[in-house]
Amino acid sequence: SQELEQSPQSLIVQEGKNLTINCTSSKTLYGLYWYKQKYGEGLIFLMMLQKGGEEKSHEKITAKLDEKKQQSSLHITASQPSHAGIYLCGAVPNTGNQFYFGTGTSLTVIP
Amino acid sequence: EAQVTQNPRYLITVTGKKLTVTCSQNMNHEYMSWYRQDPGLGLRQIYYSMNVEVTDKGDVPEGYKVSRKEKRNFPLILESPSPNQTSLYFCASGGVGGPLHFGNGTRLTVT
């Protein structure tokens, strides 16, 4: 099955620090999607990337997709306690219909 | 309001007692899917459906059934639940090429 490797598994940062989460696929992707989940709750859609080299930003969060469409990063600038949660990347491969997810990155922001 | 509605939010049952978790979406999405989320294993796809009367197995379909008789509904059926099906379940729906929209989750405990 399609695998998405996410790193790091967990991250503890001081408020105000920048951080990056990575997501790597073994196959070329049709689309790469970033989600945030509060513990035990539903997933909230953050951003979608579909073109090689694409970069999108929303408030202090920037997501990029590499030219080969196999690797993505999520960067948070000047982290705040409200950024805490689990970040998951999800993807649809170029071939196939299944929507896969990485295992998630747990982010803790210390005030 | 566009949403995916799952019910119930919490369910405690005993081994072997058939149960159904309902899922409904009001966005006219073709694609619907069920996931289970377990610590350390991330989100794993159980079944998905590309449209009415079209369903396919995901990565962990054993012990589950689904049906897609109407576009808006995609119930998950556990004919004979077992303790290893204790998990947090999510239903999701999506349009072609777009992100998945998630329900709030159903926490199932099988004793």
In tens digits, chain B (111 residues) has pLDDT values of 889 999 999 999 999 999 999 999 999 999 999 999 998 888 999 999 999 999 999 999 999 999 999 999 999 999 999 999 999 999 999 987 789 999 999 999 999
* Spatial separation of the C-alpha atoms in residues A79 and B100, rounded to whole Å: 26
Length of chain B (residues): 111
Q: CB contacts < 8 Å between A and B, how many?
A: 57
Is-contact A4 A51, C-beta < 8 A?
A: no
The distance of Cα B25 from the centroid of its chain, to the nearest Å, equals 12
Contact assignment for B35 to A101 by CB distance below 8 Å: yes
Question: Which residues of chain B lie closer than 8 angstroms to A50, CB-CB?
Answer: 97
Label residue A2 by pLDDT band (50, 70, 90): low
* Spatial separation of the C-alpha atoms in residues B45 and B40, rounded to whole Å: 15
In our burial notation (b when 16+ CB lie closer than 10 A, e otherwise), range A14-47 reads eeeeebebbbbbebebbbbbbbbbeeeebbebbb
* Spatial separation of the C-alpha atoms in residues A94 and B2, rounded to whole Å: 28
By CA distance, what is B93's nearest residue in A?
A99
By CA distance, what is B96's nearest residue in A?
A97
Contact assignment for A48 to B99 by CB distance below 8 Å: yes
By CA distance, what is B105's nearest residue in A?
A42
